[in-house]
Amino acid sequence: MPFDDRANTQASLEDVSMVLVQDHLREVASRLQEWTEQRNKVEVLEQMLLVEGPVENRFPRNVALMMFNEHPEKFFPATWVDVVYFPKGEGDPEYIEFPRITGPVPSMIRKTLELLQTNFLREKVLKQPRKAEAVRVWNYPYAALEEAVANALSHRDYLVREQVDIRVSPNFIVLLNYGGPDRSIHQEDLNSGRIRPRRYRNRRLGDFLKELDLT
């Protein structure tokens, strides 16, 4: 069973925020939203397949804590994003470290993208000879950063005690996700260049992020 779909016996249903659940249902325009107003917490979480265990001993699934808890790092150590800027390149001792980005996974994705867009995305306007229209280009395509940041958090290994690192230099951005390749990928696949993963690391988490158009 994928890690995100397993029960977390170190947590309780009290650790799942119904405010975040309701916000999610509202944002994705789910038909469950009105239904949840007449149901108790356990019924709602059961309907969303976010609980596991017998009736007398319910536990939240890991994905419930990733999505609907303000501090998932309490359950999955090092679940945050560090962004470091090296103005003169990574080999130079001078650097700027931004405040740690924490929160539910969708919130971390959005806050990380906002930080990168505000601080590092730059537009250049190039005037063309004998043409009224100027050409506008960006140093980084926002869509590429959006995909890379979302992938780093949705495909990371939440059992590994390493945060997602983003290192920005004048000429490139490096995103480090220490989960490593999926174990269904073999050396022969890498050698041949035909890589076909046969399992998802966090299938349920990916489904939730897809509903939010974050992946």
Same-domain check for residues 40 and 92: no
Percent of the chain with pLDDT over 70: 98
Is residue 170 assigned to a domain? yes
- Read off the pTM: 0.88
Residues 138 and 164 in one domain: yes
Mean residue pLDDT of the chain comes to 91
Name the band, by pLDDT with cuts 50, 70 and 90, for residue 198. low
- Indicate the DSSP class of residue 128: P
116 and 59 housed in the same domain: no
Asked if residue 209 is part of any domain, the answer here is no
Residues 169 and 105 in one domain: yes
For residues 58 and 103, membership in a common domain is answered with no
Region of 69 (left: φ > 0; alpha: ψ -120 to 50; beta: rest) is beta
Higher pLDDT, 185 or 207: 207
CA pair distance 37, 41, nearest whole angstrom:
10
Quickly state the pLDDT bin for 211 (edges 50, 70, 90): very high
Q: Are 88 and 70 in a shared domain?
A: no
Count of domains observed in the chain = 2
Is residue 213 domain-resident? no
Residue ending a domain, choose from 21, 44, 74:
74
Among residues 129, 96, 15, 100, which one has the least CA distance to residue 62? 15
Both tokens of residue 32? 């469950």
Give the residue numbers spanning the domain of 27: 3-74
pLDDT of residue 79: 95
